[in-house]
Structure 1
Amino acid sequence: MLWADFLQCYSSSTLLAWSVWWALSTCGYFQVINYAQALWEKILPSNEFEIYNGYVETISTLLGLMFLPPGAFAAFVVSFVKVSWAVWGELALCIFSVVIAVCVCLMDTIRNIWVCYTAYIIFRATYMLLITIATYQIAANLSMKRYALVFGVNTFIALLLQTLLTVIVVDSAGLGLDIFLQFLIYASYFAAVAVIFFIAGLYKLFKRRRSGGQNELPTTESVPEA
C-alpha cells in the first residue's frame, strides 16, 4: 500500500517538479550554511579581526522565520499569489535557483566579508521564500494522509544527496577540496539545478503551445485517494 501511494503521489507532474527542487536545493542549502563559517574564517580570520558572524546568522534566521512554514506572513501571502504554478512553476524555480547560485558565487569569488554577509542573507531569505511556496504547492496536490510520506521522502533524498556531496567534495576520502573550491562547486550545483528547471519549463511551454492551449493546465493537480 505504501509503495502504491508513493507511485500515485509522484505521478503528478506538478508535485514531482516541486519535490525534485525541494530535494536538490535543500541539499545545497545545508552544505552552504554548514560551511559558511569556514569560508568567512578564511576571508576574515577571527583571531586578527573583529567579526560579525553571529549577527549575520541572527539576521538571516529572523528573515527566514518570516518565510519558513508555517510562518503566518508567508502562508498568507503565498495563498493569495495568483500564479498558475502548473504552467510557470518550473521557470520560477529556474529564476530563483539562478538568484541562489549568484549569491553563492559572490560569496566565493568576491572574497569581501561584507559582500559575503549580504549574499548569505539574500541566499537564505530566497531559499526560505521558495521552500514555503514549494511546501504550499506540494500540500495542495496531496491528501493530508500523504503529507508525511512525501515530505519524508523529499527530506530523505535531500539528506542522502548532502551526504554524497560531503563525501565527494569535503571529506579527505574524496576530493578534500579547500573551502573556496567547495563554494565554487556549490554555486555550480545551483546553476545546474537552474538549467534543469529551465529546460523543463521550456519543454512544458513548448508542449502547451503545440497543443494550442486547448487543455489549460490547472493550478494544482490533486492526487486522488487510493
Structure 2
Amino acid sequence: MERWLIQSIMISVFGFLKDFRPEDPYIIQYLTSSPMNFTIEEIIQEIFPVSTYTCVNVTIIIFLVTDYLHYKPILVFGAISSVISQIFLIFARTKTNMQIMDFFDGIMIACDIPYYTYIYTAVDKKHYKIVSSHMNMACLIGRFSSAVLAQTLIDNHILKVQHLNYLTLTGTTLSLLWAIGLPSVQKSLYFHQGTEKKKKITDIDTSKPKNVFQILWLDFITAFTNHNVLQWSICWILGTYFYYQFMSYCQSLYQQIYYDGTDLQITNNGMVEAIYTITSTLGVYFVGIIRIPSWWLVGILTLCQGLILMVMAQEHLLSYAYLGYILFGTFYHIMITIANCEVAKNIPADCYALVFGINTFTSHLLQTCVTIVVNSPIGLMLNIRTQFYLYGLSYLIIGFVYTINALRSTISRTRIQDIFTIA
C-alpha cells in the first residue's frame, strides 16, 4: 500500500474516533434532566455561548501554531481538550463547571483546523481530492455510527441518556491514543520550508517568522483578490456560521417543542442524526452529477433553508422539526461542498489551508458577534423560537441576494454568448 494512502487512512481513523459521540444527539436532554436540571435559557444564554467565544479567540492562534509545531501536537491537544470536556460533563454539576466544559469544547472545535489541513502537508497535491474525501467521509461515518448506536441503546432500554456520555468518553480517549500514534509531519505549509517553498520569491528564508508572515500575506492577497474566491468565501462563511448556530441550538428548540406538547418522544434524536448523515452523504455525492449552475443551486437551497428555519420557529410537531433538521443539514453540506470546490478551482493547492483557516475564523467571529447580540446578558436574550425566526429571515434575505447574483451571472453569460454568435 502506498505511503500517502496509509497516511490518509490513519488520519481518517482519527476523524472517525473524534466524531464518535453518541451523547451529542441528546446533550440538551441530558443537561435539562436530573441530575443536571439546567433550564433551556441557562443553556443557550450562559453555557453554550462559552464555546463560541473560546473558539473565535483561539482559531487563528491554533492555525499558526499548528503549522509551526508540525500539526500532530495540536491534534493531540485537541483530543486532550475533548477528553477533559467529557470528564467535566460526566462528573461536574454546577453551571460554572459546565462553562469550563464548554471552554474545552471550544478548543476542541478550533482544533478541527489541523485535522483538515494535516494531510495536505503529508501527500502530493495530486492526491488532495481523494484524501479530502476520506477525511469528510470518516467524520460522517463516525457521526452516523454513534447516532445509530445511541438510538438503539435508548430504544431497547439498555442504557439511559446519561450513560451515553461514557461511550463518548471512550471515543475521545481512543482518539487521543490514536493521535499520539499518528505519523509526524516533517514539513509544514509555511514554517520550516527553506528553499522548497512554492513561492516565486526564491530569496525568502522561511525559517524567520517575519518572512513567514510575509508569505502568509502574499498567499492571502493571491487568494482573496480573486473575485470568485471572495464571492464563494463569503458564501462559505455565511453558510458555516448559520450551520454552527443551527446545530448548537436546534436541540433547545426540540426541547421547547416537547415541553409545549407534541407528537413524538424526544428520544428519537439519534435516529434523526443517523438519517441526516446518510442524506448529507448522498447529497454531496449528487453534487457532482446535478447539472445546475452553482449560484442557482446555492440560491435555491439557501431560500429553502430560510423557509425551513421560519417553519421550525413556529412548529409544534416534533416530527416536522426533525424533518427540518435533516433537510437543513443536507442542504448545508451540498452548499459547502459547492463553495469548497469553487474556491479550490481558483487558488493554488497549498493556499487552501490558509483560506480554510481564515474562512473558519471569520465564521466563528460572526457567530460570536451574533451570539453576544442574541443570547448574552448585554444583548437581547431572545427565546429560542424568536432566535429561529431571526435566523430564518436573515437566511431568506441572503438566499434572495444569491438568487439575484445567479440571475445576473446568467444574463451576463447569455449576452457574451450572443455577442460571439453575432460575430
Matched, 1:170 2:391: no
Of the candidates 48, 52, 56, which is equivalent to residue 272 of structure 2? 56
Counterpart secondary structure, 2:277: helix
Q: Check the 8 A contact 2:309/2:388 in 1, yes or no.
A: yes
Q: Check the 8 A contact 1:104/1:120 in 2, yes or no.
A: no
Counterpart secondary structure, 1:45: helix
* Matches of 1:80 and 1:63, distance apart in 2: 15
**Superposition pairs for residues 1-226 of structure 1, below 5 Å?**
1-45=215-259, 50-51=265-266, 52-66=268-282, 74=285, 77-82=286-291, 88-209=293-414, 211=416, 213-214=418-419
Counterpart secondary structure, 2:265: coil
Counterpart secondary structure, 2:330: helix
The share of aligned pairs that are identical, in percent, is 31
* Matches of 1:57 and 1:46, distance apart in 2: 22
- TM-score w.r.t. the length of structure 1 is 0.80
Greater alpha carbon shift after TM alignment, 56-65 vs 148-157: 56-65
Counterpart secondary structure, 2:259: coil
Quote the offset at 1:47 in angstroms: 11
Q: Check the 8 A contact 2:287/2:334 in 1, yes or no.
A: no
* Matches of 1:105 and 1:47, distance apart in 2: 19
Amino acid of the structure 2 residue aligned with 1:9: A
Quote the offset at 1:96 in angstroms: 1.0
Number of matched pairs: 205
Give structure 1 stretches of 5+ with no counterpart: 69-73, 217-226
Q: Check the 8 A contact 1:17/1:90 in 2, yes or no.
A: no
Larger RCO: Structure 1 or Structure 2 (Cα < 8 Å, ≥ 6 residues apart)? 1
Quote the offset at 1:56 in angstroms: 1.5
- TM-score w.r.t. the length of structure 2 is 0.44
Quote the offset at 1:117 in angstroms: 0.6
Q: Relative to structure 1, is the Cα distance of residues 11 and 80 closer, same or farther in structure 2, using a 3 angstrom cutoff?
A: farther
Q: Relative to structure 1, is the Cα distance of residues 46 and 182 closer, same or farther in structure 2, using a 3 angstrom cutoff?
A: closer
Q: Check the 8 A contact 1:101/1:190 in 2, yes or no.
A: yes
Deviations 1:124-153 (A, max 9, x none): 111112212222222222221111111111
Quote the offset at 1:210 in angstroms: 5.0
Q: Relative to structure 1, is the Cα distance of residues 98 and 3 closer, same or farther in structure 2, using a 3 angstrom cutoff?
A: same
Q: Check the 8 A contact 2:222/2:347 in 1, yes or no.
A: no
Counterpart secondary structure, 1:142: coil
Amino acid of the structure 2 residue aligned with 1:27: Y
Structure of higher CA gyration radius = 2
Q: Check the 8 A contact 1:78/1:136 in 2, yes or no.
A: no
Counterpart secondary structure, 1:44: helix
Amino acid of the structure 2 residue aligned with 1:56: V
Q: Check the 8 A contact 2:261/2:316 in 1, yes or no.
A: no
Instruction: Find the counterpart in structure 2 of residue 223 from structure 1.
Output: none
Amino acid of the structure 2 residue aligned with 1:173: I
Structure 1 stretches of at least 4 aligned residues deviating more than 6 Å after TM superposition: 46-49
Quote the offset at 1:160 in angstroms: 0.7
Q: Check the 8 A contact 1:18/1:134 in 2, yes or no.
A: yes
* Matches of 2:246 and 2:358, distance apart in 1: 22
Q: Relative to structure 1, is the Cα distance of residues 67 and 209 closer, same or farther in structure 2, using a 3 angstrom cutoff?
A: closer
* Matches of 1:42 and 1:207, distance apart in 2: 47
Q: Aligned-residue CA RMSD in angstroms?
A: 2.6
* Matches of 1:166 and 1:192, distance apart in 2: 19
Counterpart secondary structure, 2:381: coil
Deviations 1:46-68 (A, max 9, x none): 99973222322232134334456
* Matches of 2:245 and 2:330, distance apart in 1: 16
